[in-house]
Structure 1
Amino acid sequence: MAMIIRAAEGEVLGPPGGCRDRFLVDSPAWEGRLGVVEHLLAPHSIAAPMHLHTREDEFSLILEGRVWYVAAGVEHVAETGDFVYKPRGEWHTFFNAADEPARVLEIITPGGLEQAFRQIDTADGDVDLDRIVGPYGCSADYEATAPLMEKYGLAFE
């Protein structure tokens, strides 16, 4: 069945001063083949610590602003209209080091990992990220993330 998700539609979760997620395609509705989330990055926010996933590939289209990526130890800056591929098994993170907000359309295949985003976005207080993402075949590295946060003045909200 064809459908249109209007610009003002889709569940939006997460802190306004950090990375909010607008859920567009939930994988259960697509037999697990695909998940689509729009990341709304506040200025000087980081979406996730350095991490890797073993089951999914992620594709990011920059809709607005600039987004910094670190992949395989190399820093990159992607701008509006750029398309970023983050393959499974590769350590990476992304963040907004600018003074303006940024928006990223995240396509996840196969889907499922977007459910972890929903759990993180609705958690109360401190999040045990390893407990949430572990069942999805993901690992996080906080030690590798700390220098980026200090260098760019980033904060997890």
Structure 2
Amino acid sequence: MTETIRLGGIWVRFLVESEEANGSAAMFEFGVASGSRVPAPHSHDAYEETLYGLDGTLTMTVEGVEHQVGPGDTLCIRRGEVHGFDNHGGTDTRTLTVITPGVLGPDYFREMAEVLRAAAGGPPDLAAIGAVMRRHGLTPAG
């Protein structure tokens, strides 16, 4: 059974890890609970991130422009584009996300989950979040 990594109202389940695709891609299901958002927009310079909507509608803001990703919709976030997301809807969302090349893996999400657990329900350590992001090729915006 594939591991589900939970980060508050977000969950990730890797379907293909980089090693399985000779480094060419990674693929995971990405779920976002209703009302959840990523408070830290970011970019990544080493890979593209392509989302395919499965359930619900996720609002992705890419370079200041909102995109709705619902069932059957696709969105490619190119290298260097600042982006974040929100689930404004009344239902949870689920996307299939592909990273090319496959330089992002489950360790990023595990480490981020640990930072959130260490906050014990309080505000997370922003310096620790930034360090995890940078270690895995993400650049915090602002």
Q: Which TM-score band applies after superposition, normalised by the shorter structure?
A: 0.7 to 0.9
The structural deviation recorded for 1:48 is 6.0
The structural deviation recorded for 1:135 is 2.3
Determine the C-alpha separation between the residues in 1 that align with 2:78 and 2:102: 14
Give the SS at the match of 1:11. Answer: coil
C-alpha spacing 1:105/1:87, structure 2 compared with 1 (3 Å): same
Pick one of 12, 17, 30 that aligns with 1:21.
12
Could you list the runs of 5+ residues in structure 2 that have no partner in the other structure? 119-123
Which range moves more in the overlay, 118-127 or 44-53? 118-127
Question: In percent, how many aligned pairs have the same letter?
Answer: 29
Question: Alpha carbon RMSD of aligned pairs, Å?
Answer: 1.8
Q: Does residue 51 of structure 1 match 2:42?
A: yes
Aligned AA for 1:111?
A: G
Determine the C-alpha separation between the residues in 2 that align with 1:48 and 1:34: 26
Q: Which residue of 1 is the match for residue 91 of structure 2? A: 100
Q: Does residue 83 of structure 1 match 2:74?
A: yes
Give the SS at the match of 2:94. Answer: strand
Q: Which residue of 1 is the match for residue 64 of structure 2? A: 73
C-alpha spacing 1:49/1:97, structure 2 compared with 1 (3 Å): same
> What is the TM-score of this pair, normalised by structure 2?
0.84
Aligned residues: 133
Determine the C-alpha separation between the residues in 1 that align with 2:104 and 2:38: 14
Q: Which residue of 2 is the match for residue 121 of structure 1? A: 113
Q: Which residue of 1 is the match for residue 135 of structure 2? A: 135
Q: Does the CA-based 8 Å contact 2:60-2:84 persist in structure 1? A: yes
Aligned AA for 1:130?
A: G
The structural deviation recorded for 1:102 is 0.5
